[in-house]
Structure 1
Amino acid sequence: MSIPKTLRSMVLFHGSQTWLGEVSNVTLPKLTRKTSDWRGGGMPAGVPLDLGMDNLGELSFTAGGPMQKTLSAFAGGMLGQNLRFVGEYRQQDTGLVDIIEVSVRGRYSEIDFGEQKVGDVGSFKGTVKLSYLKIVWNGSTLIELDPLLGTEIVDGINIGSTLFKTLGLI
């Protein structure tokens, strides 16, 4: 039996700026694959065929109040925003710690000022639609996805497009 890991601490970086103490939560992207069910003659059930990666999704965060760097970047390009989440996850029964880093690039698709009330901590939310994603677990790259370069690395193996390899682009 194992007890789940708990996020003990985290920080979000926007480019070279550290948002230590400013961001209360981060929603990391959901990874999905496009599939199509196939059931050929004689098959008692269908199976999902892998049609490649779906869009990389989005990363969103909530801060305690308006953030100028986010607003200044609102009209930026799809590669313009570099965000990096670093989280310390502790295994409650063993005390072992995992450091997970999620680096993304993309463009802000939504900025929500939320309710602003005198005397209360505000709620300022930003959402970035992704064009790049990299997940590093305890210093080792676990996943790196860069659709623009045809890169789809999972656990050290590039399962990306063979067309890019054939053309000498990667």
Structure 2
Amino acid sequence: MGLPRKLKNLNTFVDGESYIGVISEFEEPKLAIATEEWRGGGMLGPVMLDMGLEAMEAALTMGGHEAALIRKFGTTRVDGVRLRLVGAYQADNGGAAQAVEVYIGGRFTEIDPGKSKAGDSTEQKYKVPLAYYRRVVDGRIEIEIDMLRGIFIVDGVDRYAEIMAIISS
């Protein structure tokens, strides 16, 4: 009988600083291929042509006020803030926990301080459009995307290497 691996616990590091006990939630970016519809003469119907990747965006929620993160707002580099999410996933079938690490480079474009009321829980939400994304499972790189350097690696294969070789020479 199979059971799904569920997130048992997590931590986030922002520019190397641990936020264990503070991070509430992390939303990974959606990965999407940008496509364009094409139907040429003689074709029965349209196909979707690969036009690169869609923009990626992540989000994180902290359990309260974090002045150090607010100070990172407005960085002029598209990859000026580096984040690393570490999650432990485990199925309740007695199997070993699985380490999942997500590395992202981007910048905070939106900070939502939420509502503040004495005695109530507070959360701050951070929106992070990405220039870089890498997902590592048990030490193996599953996917790496570097928008600035033209790297698009999935399962060890750089799907954009041939194009970069042509335009780089």
TM-score (norm. length: structure 1) = 0.90
Q: Distance in 2 between matches of 1:31 and 1:64?
A: 27
Say which SS state the counterpart of residue 30 (structure 2) adopts.
coil
Q: Which is worse superposed, 155-164 or 130-139? A: 155-164
Aligned to 1:67: 66
Aligned to 1:119: 119
Aligned length: 168
Aligned to 2:57: 58
Aligned to 1:138: 138
Say which SS state the counterpart of residue 2 (structure 1) adopts.
coil
Q: Distance in 1 between matches of 2:68 and 2:165?
A: 38
Shift, 1:70, TM fit: 1.2
Deviations 1:6-48 (A, max 9, x none): 1001001101100000011111110010112334455444332
Q: Distance in 1 between matches of 2:5 and 2:134?
A: 21
Shift, 1:116, TM fit: 0.8
Shift, 1:49, TM fit: 1.9
Letter of the 1:12 counterpart: T
Deviations 1:130-167 (A, max 9, x none): 01011111101111111111111111111115343235
Say which SS state the counterpart of residue 165 (structure 1) adopts.
helix
RMSD: 1.8
Gaps of 5+ in 2: none
Q: Distance in 2 between matches of 1:14 and 1:97?
A: 24
* Identity between Structure 1 and Structure 2 (%): 35
Letter of the 1:98 counterpart: Q
TM-score (norm. length: structure 2) = 0.90
Letter of the 1:71 counterpart: I
Say which SS state the counterpart of residue 166 (structure 1) adopts.
helix
Say which SS state the counterpart of residue 48 (structure 1) adopts.
strand
Letter of the 1:121 counterpart: S
